[in-house]
A and B are shown apart, each in its own frame.
Chain A
Amino acid sequence: GQNIDQPTEMTATEGAIVQINCTYQTSGFNGLFWYQQHAGEAPTFLSYNVLDGLEEKGRFSSFLSRSKGYSYLLLKELQMKDSASYLCAVLDSNYQLIWGAGTKLIIKP
């Protein structure tokens, strides 16, 4: 079966760095997405990785290792507004998105 695993919840301090991991087992791979979802709102796109390595976009970076079935989202200089759920999703061989359950990130002052 297809499976996406990510931690249920993480806590970090304002101004710090946090890494949210995602491991996957899917039938085929056409890329991995990270979305941010604030409570009661829609998911919004953060990043897309299809090649191994690190993609940096401002305070957010996303890493992919296809051989390990592993990705992480790195958030630097955390701000209170970063409190949200972070969703990992893999595009499978049929170009359908398989979603993880999301990681709820709590930022403390």
Chain B
Amino acid sequence: IAGITQAPTSQILAAGRRMTLRCTQDMRHNAMYWYRQDLGLGLRLIHYSNTAGTTGKGEVPDGYSVSRANTDDFPLTLASAVPSQTSVYFCASSELADSTDTQYFGPGTRLTVL
């Protein structure tokens, strides 16, 4: 593995179903982030983690939860998916939180909720 990987690449999901998007990085970065990207809008931060064991809410956290049990993994869970959660989801990481460090992005997960 090199960098950040995300799984699945794409998914079609029925409304009301539970879904976990996976994100793994091998750069030993402390900070990790989940964004959603919708047409005509900038990337919006859903949740973040400054270091293993801690998480925080971003701009649009409702309907999503995260955990950070270790440095490498940062899964995003949709407890009960709704059509408005149809989007492209990007996981990112940076060496340090609360810094000017560059964020590196995974390839994204395209999620469609019907």
Contacts and interface: CB of A to CB of B under 8 A. Distances in A.
Interface of A: 4, 8, 30-31, 33, 41-45, 48, 50, 87, 89, 91, 94-102
Given A95-B97, A96-B58, A42 B42 contact: no
A97 B45 contact: yes
A30 B100 contact: yes
Given A99-B44, A100-B42, A101-B40, A42 B103 contact: no
Interface majority SS on B: helix, strand, loop or mixed?
A: loop
A76 B44 CA distance: 30
A96 B44 CA distance: 11
Interface of B: 40-45, 48, 58, 90, 97-100, 102-108
**What 7 pairs between A and B have smallest CB-CB spacing?**
A99-B42, A42-B105, A99-B43, A95-B98, A45-B102, A101-B42, A31-B100
Interface majority SS on A: helix, strand, loop or mixed?
A: loop
A95 B99 contact: yes
A20 to B, nearest CB: 15
Contacts of B105: 42-44
Nearest to B91: A42
Contacts of A45: 102-104
Nearest to B98: A95
Contact of B42 (A30, A33, A87): A87
